Amino acid sequence: MAQQQKGSKPRHVPQRTCIACRKVAGKRNLIRIVRTEQGVEVDPTGKKAGRGAYLHPNQTCWQAMLTGNRLAQALRTNVSPDNRRVLEAFMASLPVQEEIEDEQSGPLAQAST
3-state secondary structure 4-19: CCCCCCCCCCCEEEEC
> What's the CA gap between 17 and 83, in Å, rounded?
22
d(CA 48, CA 34): 7
Segments forming the whole domain that contains residue 69: 15-96
Q: What is the pLDDT along the chain (113 residues), one digit of tens a residue?
A: 555 556 678 999 999 999 999 999 999 999 999 999 999 999 989 999 999 999 999 999 999 999 989 999 999 999 999 999 999 999 999 998 755 444 444 433 344 44
91 within some domain: yes
Q: Would 101 be classed as within a structural domain?
A: no
For 7, counting Cβ atoms within 10 Å of its Cβ (0-12 exposed, 13-18 middle, 19+ buried), the class is exposed
pTM score of the predicted model: 0.77
**Total of domains in the chain:** 1
